[in-house]
Chains A and B, each alone.
Chain A
Amino acid sequence: MCIGMPCRVITRSGELGTVEYCGNSREINFALVPQAGNGEWVLVHAGLALQIIGEDEAEQLLALLEEFYAERD
């Protein structure tokens, strides 16, 4: 809940857009990071993008989340 999901922006359309997370795509809201462009990485919390992040950070967070979830499965 307190860790964002790193997602790559696929398309933008106004406040909405589609992102990819671990091979799945979903629609999220970009009202709070309107400058995020296609191909960029964003931190998403509860369906809302809150921060643009670099690819290195995204990859580190993805690896971390993968480890967390692997432990729980």
Chain B
Amino acid sequence: MLSGIELAQAQQLLASIQKKLPGQLAIMEVCGTHTTAISKYGLRPLLEPLRLLSGPGCPVCVTAAGDLDRMIALAGAGCIVATFGDLLRVPGSKTSLEQEQADGADVRIVYSPLDALKIAANNRQRPVVFLGVGFETTAPAMALAVKQAKERGLTNFYLYSCLKTVVPALHALLAAPHGLDGLLLPGHVSSVIGRQAQDFVASLYGMPAAVVGFGERDILLGIAAVVRMIEEGKPGVINAYPRVVREEGNLLAQKLLAETFNIAAAEWRGFGVIPASGYVLKPEFAGHDAALLFDLPHGAVPQEQEACRCGDVLRGAIIPTECALFAGRCLPLTPLGPCMVSSEGACAAYYRYDRKKGVAPA
């Protein structure tokens, strides 16, 4: 927790800079954990009229409806399906993994894809599919699981990859009309990809940005740095989390990803298909690629359920409270969209922390 003095200093700094700026500033926290942390610390009402907007940094939330349906179909096809808990309750177009599990499908929550490998070793007669959702933080563990499966001859282990890479999403976000004045860049994803891989945010798009950690002080200082760059008209991508993030990131992790995956177009909720934004297994691992080996539904699936506006939330076009379903028909126990389900989802964070604090729509 910040001391009262530290908080007062941070507020003073922000207030003094904001006074010099015309209009209302909008800064996006790209990472879903930052969204949750900002809501948890109650920073949104504290920093008004600065608008803090959520971005495409919740992996479960940006998973396309068609991919959800294909993962749910795998659960209904007699496979043992293993995945992270966050995915369980996300609604597909007709059902969810949780519903399939209740109806008898063998869906197992694991902490690591390496645990799913153990399940495959203990159930050699059954296909075991790991549902791979995540960014550069979780993708290395999945790469390692697939490599180990191949080395160990675990031919019943498969990956269904919905893994995504963050940089192309930032391009997609910034190349389109957006109304943003600055970005807070992910902390732990940046520990893998490095700060310098995100220099284009400023050099190509003129957008000030800071890589930030997850504490209150980290976030406030990151915001202050971004606001200062806006005020001075000198955009850059600064590293406000040098305790963890290096210029070049984790080179061994980058090498493992490059050895295991090719980069291909991928569909993102809220963005549609973004070129070169998804990790797909290289041909030498085709024997472990569930997308190639299982007969899965491929028809067009609407991105959203009814009036769900998760897509707009993920682009920072609205805040969750501006969705007509929020806290009415869409609730944590009966979610209509993924942003109300995931622990990193913006709607879940606003519901849990901001709803009663009067965070106002624009």
B-contacting residues of A (Cβ < 8 Å)?
A: 1-4, 26, 28-29, 31-34, 43, 45-48, 50-51, 53-54, 56-57, 60-61, 64, 67-68, 71-72
User: Can you report 16 A-B residue pairs in the complex whose CB atoms are below 8 A from each other?
Assistant: A1-B59, A2-B57, A2-B186, A3-B188, A28-B112, A32-B253, A33-B252, A43-B188, A45-B138, A45-B188, A48-B140, A48-B144, A50-B137, A56-B243, A60-B213, A68-B343
Which B residues are CB-close (under 8 A) to A60? 213-215
Chain B interface residue count, CB cutoff 8 Å, equals 46
B residues 39-78 in Cβ contact with A at 8 Å: 40, 57-60
CB <8 Å contact, A45 and B32: no
* B267 in contact (CB, < 8 A): no
CB <8 Å contact, A4 and B137: yes
- Give complex CA distance A67, B114 in Å: 27
CB <8 Å contact, A50 and B253: yes
Which A residues are CB-close (under 8 A) to B210? none
CB <8 Å contact, A47 and B32: no
Q: Please encode chain B, from 97 to 129, with 1 for each CB lying within 8 Å of some chain A CB and 0 for all others.
A: 000000000000001111100000000000000
Q: Please encode chain B, from 134 to 152, with 1 for each CB lying within 8 Å of some chain A CB and 0 for all others.
A: 1101101110100000000
Of B84, B188, B189, chain A has the most CB atoms within 10 Å of the CB of B188
- In the complex, the chain A residue whose C-beta lies closest to that of B34 is A2
Which A residues are CB-close (under 8 A) to B112? 28, 46-48
A-contacting residues of B (Cβ < 8 Å)?
A: 31-33, 36-37, 40, 57-60, 84, 86, 111-115, 133-135, 137-138, 140-142, 144, 186-189, 191-192, 213-215, 243-244, 250, 252-253, 256, 342-344, 352-353
Q: Is the interface of A mostly helix, strand, loop or mixed?
A: mixed
Cβ distance A49 to chain B, nearest Cβ, rounded Å: 10
Which A residues are CB-close (under 8 A) to B36? 68
- Give complex CA distance A34, B113 in Å: 20
CB <8 Å contact, B244 and A43: yes
- Give complex CA distance A53, B344 in Å: 23
- In the complex, the chain B residue whose C-beta lies closest to that of A46 is B141
Which A residues are CB-close (under 8 A) to B186? 2
- Give complex CA distance A67, B134 in Å: 23
CB <8 Å contact, A45 and B141: yes
- In the complex, the chain A residue whose C-beta lies closest to that of B1 is A63
Of A2, A54, A68, A72, chain B has the most CB atoms within 10 Å of the CB of A2
The verdict on A64 contacting B114 (CB below 8 Å), with A46-B141, A72-B343 known, is no
- Give complex CA distance A3, B342 in Å: 13
Cβ distance A21 to chain B, nearest Cβ, rounded Å: 10
The verdict on A2 contacting B32 (CB below 8 Å), with A45-B138, A50-B253, A71-B352 known, is yes
Instruction: Give me the 4 closest cross-chain CB pairs, A-B, nearest first.
Output: A47-B112, A46-B141, A48-B141, A3-B33
- Give complex CA distance A69, B253 in Å: 28
The verdict on A2 contacting B33 (CB below 8 Å), with A29-B114, A43-B188, A47-B112 known, is yes
Q: CB within 8 A of A47: which of B57, B111, B191? A: B111
The verdict on A31 contacting B138 (CB below 8 Å), with A61-B214, A64-B37 known, is no
Q: CB within 8 A of A45: which of B37, B140, B214, B352? A: B140
CB <8 Å contact, A32 and B188: no
Beyond contacts A2-B188, A31-B252, A46-B111: 20 other A-B pairs, Cβ-Cβ < 8 A, are A1-B84, A1-B134, A1-B135, A1-B342, A2-B32, A2-B33, A2-B137, A3-B33, A32-B253, A33-B250, A45-B141, A46-B112, A47-B113, A48-B140, A48-B141, A50-B137, A50-B188, A50-B192, A51-B188, A64-B215
